[in-house]
Structure 1
Amino acid sequence: MAGPELGLLFQRHFLAARRLRGMPWAELEQQLTAAPQRSQSSLLLDILHQTVLHPLCVRFPPPASYRRRFLTELIKQHESTAADPLDELYDALAPILNEEESTRCYKSYILPSGEAVTLSESVAIISQGTTGLITWDAALHLAEWAMENPKVFTNRTVLELGSGVGFTGLVICKTCNPKTYVFSDCHHGVLKQLTENIRLNGFTLEPETTNPAQGQEAEGQEYQQPKLLVAELDWGSVTEQQLLALHADVVIAADVVYDPEVTLALIGVLQKFSSSRADRKPDIYVALTVRNADTYHVFQAELDKAGIRWQIIPAHSSNIFLHDTQPNMTVLQLLV
């Protein structure tokens, strides 16, 4: 792996605040050992500018504690060489040492085009009584599958159940050209954060068509914008008529099968699509991480009981967003 490639790999890990131990430290150590002093410094400075000093990090920084740990490890790598001290590394660390921790942070995910999806997230797994304020790996997995299968979404109306902070939907809106995308959730705090993230990425929401988009649009990005909506949708009380009014061609959900009670509510929603008299049933895809085999089997059994057929979608080949590739992550297509 060449130096510039290594810098870009660190960048993708760092801006998305992926686990530090998953970064290519061994490859860096190998390159530093083999390189002359001048090249050692050049490689470390390149990584510094691709990460902590990158414009996306300056504008939308990952957690302060994460940046501190990253720079500490980078300095440790430098100090293991015989190269002259690099003031730039210490200058970058100094202001972060006294930076107060926040309950929120940013994560930026780089698309193959070089464009980014940037999200404001909670630093805690559970915040405001919900797990919906962070991005889970099944959402990354589903987004990658969508990017490999854009025709599923192109020029179609997509309804996402349990959108959380919006990662999957924003990727689809930037890469798959849907006609309409309906983000939905039921938690007020999640809906507020979701709306902020949509605007942060240069999109406007209906009926805000006259409002200037904010966020990354300012950096020159222009979109063939789909129509975007955010809907408060409670699975326990939503009616068949409300779902039909959304005219969804495609329904997706990620990481919503983790609790039997939630699973039953989800199947209740899916049954409303199944029992509807619409001429054409929507295509339905659910991405999940199988953390508990019993919960997964309950989901499958309840689908069977509800008369909803299902099949496992073959695994896709890409790992664009550097999530933990696990054999227990899958996408199901549901046939209502």
Structure 2
Amino acid sequence: MTAMTEEIHKLSERFLKMYPVKDVDLKPIINNLSKLDYDDSMEYQEKLLRSTVDHPIVQKYPPTISYCQRFLKRLITEIEDINLEVFDGLYEAYTNLLSQENRNTLNCGNISYCYKTYCLAPELTITLKETRSIISEGTTGMFTWQASHVLADWCQKEAARLNGKNVLELGAGLGLTGLTVIKTCNPASYTFTDLHTSVLKTLKENILINLCNGSIPESTEELTDGFKIPYENTRVSVERLDWTSDHVHSSYDVVLAADVVYDTEIISPLVLILKEALGKSDGATAYVASTIRNRDTFNCFRNTLVSNNMKIKLESRHTYQESPSQPESTIIIMQLML
């Protein structure tokens, strides 16, 4: 891959996951353009367009119109600032986005959802339908949180721990961790669980996008309870699980959870459901990734684990920062056993 192609690839990855426009480093792109003659410059700008706003994934699963608009406006401005001619296709795409925004404002009001595509490896992308709001429809589960990114990355690196295992995820949210595990770790089965109806519905849609190319197989029931599909060697299912009233009925080798430690009121039922799940199978292990937002809340979780005779076998500390303008988060992954 040439240096110029590599820069376009990097820009494409950031665009697809809606990396903050103000943090996108366009200097390498503009530097490349400044060295090209007219024909090569037009070709390079066309490649930029095809790799971002006109990307095949974007055509099917687009970011927000406002994000695409801000991105193109900045790109066009920076090209103009070095007195280069701008590829007509960039202007046309920007104008089209302005007209789409107006139509959506008139006909649909505020757009609740968008799609983000995360490039986790050269041949691995995960596309998620999600909302830009931290709290939506009374739940925080419609947003992909920091610990999910860290746990997904950790699972890829520690794939041997999950290979051939029956895996249960608590508080699966929109599915980033689970979809990553299914696509990279070859588990025997993977059960996503959550509580909120809207989260479960969107989670199932994300599973279909990534495991079934967005279509529902004939053998699959509608998006209701009992959702199950096969994916290669993995049995995939989604279940509603209320930690305060439901029980874990099947046995699992591994339990995963990301960003479920955020409220002291749910810590006791969380620990009890973890203990119940681990008690179903000898040698079962849980990996819980927690973003440290409030040290007292995390200490409450730790103390509740100890008081329920659960063993903290290992702890690892990680950091996550989406972009330079975003705050850096500390995430702790705990390995738990009985």
TM-score (norm 1): 0.85
**Closer, same or farther in 2 for the Cα pair 1:41/1:291, shift >3 Å?**
farther
8 Å Cα contact 2:114/2:129 also seen in 1: yes
CA distance in 1, matches of 2:39, 2:261: 52
**Closer, same or farther in 2 for the Cα pair 1:211/1:258, shift >3 Å?**
closer
Matched, 1:312 2:320: no
CA distance in 2, matches of 1:109, 1:119: 8
8 Å Cα contact 2:317/2:331 also seen in 1: no
Pairwise CA distance, 1:163: 0.6
Report the AA paired with residue 254 of structure 1.
A
Pairwise CA distance, 1:315: 4.9
> Higher relative contact order at CA 8 Å, sep ≥6: structure 1 or structure 2?
1
Residue of structure 1 aligned with 2:299, choices 275, 297, 300? 297
SS in 2 for 1:313: strand
Structure 1: gaps spanning 5 or more residues = 213-221
User: Which residue of 2 is the match for residue 89 of structure 1?
Assistant: 90
Matched, 1:233 2:224: no
RMSD: 2.8
SS in 1 for 2:121: coil
SS in 2 for 1:120: strand
CA distance in 1, matches of 2:85, 2:7: 21
**Structure 1 or 2: larger strand share?**
2
Q: Greater CA deviation, 303-312 or 5-14?
A: 303-312
TM-score (norm 2): 0.85
Aligned ranges 1:135-146 → 2 under 5 Å: 135-146=144-155
Q: Greater CA deviation, 105-114 or 251-260?
A: 105-114
**Closer, same or farther in 2 for the Cα pair 1:296/1:76, shift >3 Å?**
same
What per-residue deviation string (whole Å, max 9, x for no partner) do you get for residues 35-55 of structure 1?
A: 555554444332221111100
Report the AA paired with residue 232 of structure 2.
Q
8 Å Cα contact 1:103/1:122 also seen in 2: yes
CA distance in 2, matches of 1:250, 1:327: 25
**Closer, same or farther in 2 for the Cα pair 1:331/1:41, shift >3 Å?**
farther
Report the AA paired with residue 90 of structure 1.
Y
Query: Sequence identity, in percent?
Result: 33
Pairwise CA distance, 1:202: 2.7
* Count of residues in correspondence between the two structures: 317
User: Which residue of 1 is the match for residue 227 of structure 2?
Assistant: none
User: Which residue of 1 is the match for residue 224 of structure 2?
Assistant: none
8 Å Cα contact 2:30/2:79 also seen in 1: no
CA distance in 2, matches of 1:295, 1:142: 20
**Closer, same or farther in 2 for the Cα pair 1:90/1:78, shift >3 Å?**
same
Aligned ranges 1:140-289 → 2 under 5 Å: 140-203=149-212, 210-211=219-220, 224-239=232-247, 243=248, 245-273=249-277, 276=279, 278=280, 280-289=282-291
Q: Greater CA deviation, 230-239 or 326-335?
A: 326-335
Pairwise CA distance, 1:305: 2.1
CA distance in 2, matches of 1:140, 1:237: 29
SS in 2 for 1:286: strand
8 Å Cα contact 1:44/1:78 also seen in 2: no
Q: Greater CA deviation, 65-74 or 195-204?
A: 195-204
**Closer, same or farther in 2 for the Cα pair 1:41/1:117, shift >3 Å?**
same
Pairwise CA distance, 1:57: 0.5
Aligned ranges 1:97-112 → 2 under 5 Å: 97-99=98-100, 100=104, 101-112=110-121
What per-residue deviation string (whole Å, max 9, x for no partner) do you get for residues 68-119 of structure 1?
A: 1111111111111222232111111112113225211111112324242111
Structure 2: gaps spanning 5 or more residues = 105-109, 222-229
Report the AA paired with residue 192 of structure 2.
F
8 Å Cα contact 1:122/1:134 also seen in 2: yes
Matched, 1:119 2:128: yes
Q: Greater CA deviation, 41-50 or 130-139?
A: 41-50
